[in-house]
Amino acid sequence: MAALQNAVVFALVAASVLFSVWWLTPARWRLWVLDRLVSADATRGPLVRLRGSLLARAALGCNACKANPSADAQRSTQKAAGLRH
């Protein structure tokens, strides 16, 4: 029974560490990993959905730079100035 408990605890800790490392990794590296795991012609599956959501979040950015076509840098600058006062 103790061996089973140790195995369950080890599995939970390992899953937690992997999950934390995944989300603390920069988006560029996560996309690189997903590109290696998902074939180019894949259209369905959890990894394809994960890659799509990661790309969607990366495309949004913080909306503060001119590199993003939907950016409103003036509004972002005004918001930052308001927070400083």
Report the pLDDT value the prediction gives residue 54, as an integer from 0 to 100.
82
Number of domains in the chain: 1
Answer whether residue 15 is part of any domain: no
Residue 85 pLDDT exceeds 50 = no
Answer whether residue 8 is part of any domain: no
Answer whether residue 57 is part of any domain: yes
Answer whether residue 10 is part of any domain: no
Burial class (CB in 10 A: 0-12, 13-18, 19+), 31: middle
Domain containing 76 equals 26-84
Average pLDDT over the chain reads 77
Answer whether residue 62 is part of any domain: yes
Answer whether residue 36 is part of any domain: yes
Place of tokens 């012609």: 41
Based on DSSP, count helices (H) and strands (E) in the chain, helices before strands.
4, 0
**Pair 72, 63: CB distance under 8 Å:** yes
Report the pLDDT value the prediction gives residue 8, as an integer from 0 to 100.
96
Report the pLDDT value the prediction gives residue 37, as an integer from 0 to 100.
82
- Mean pLDDT (whole number) for 27-42: 81
